[in-house]
């Protein structure tokens, strides 16, 4: 029987692709690159290339997750 208590993890059920798409919708690639200065956001960005980089680069993924949580707390997420 599943636990009826909802998760307190703000990232529960949110895919990395969804995070990127919502951040790009909110800030655009340029704004995202200004907030998190990594090449996959600043040089010829795409969701596909960003996913590939972030899946193998834990420190960069942590920055994306932190920005997503911050955006969600401000009410900018579609959640």
Domain range annotation of the chain: 16-73
What's the mean pLDDT in 1-29?
86
For the chain, give the DSSP string: ----SPP--TTTT--HHHHHHHHHHHHHHHHHHHHS--HHHHSS--HHHHHHHHHT-HHHHHHHHHHHHHHHHTT-S--
pLDDT for 78? 47
Contact between residue 65 and residue 71 where contact means Cβ atoms under 8 Å apart: no
Alpha-carbon torsion, ordered 5, 73, 19, 38, to 10 deg: -140
CATH architecture of 16-73: Orthogonal Bundle (1.10)
Q: Tens digits of per-residue pLDDT, 20-78?
A: 999 999 999 999 999 999 999 999 999 999 999 999 999 999 999 999 999 988 875 44
Q: Is the pLDDT of residue 15 over 70?
A: yes
pLDDT for 75? 78
């Amino acid at each position: 029987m599943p636990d009826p208590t909802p998760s307190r993890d703000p990232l529960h059920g949110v895919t990395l692709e969804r995070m990127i798409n919502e951040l790009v919708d909110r800030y655009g690639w340029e704004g995202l690159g200004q907030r998190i200065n990594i090449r996959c956001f600043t040089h010829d960005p795409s969701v596909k290339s960003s996913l590939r980089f972030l899946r193998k680069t834990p420190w960069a993924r942590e920055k994306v997750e932190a920005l997503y949580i911050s955006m969600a707390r401000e009410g900018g997420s579609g959640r």
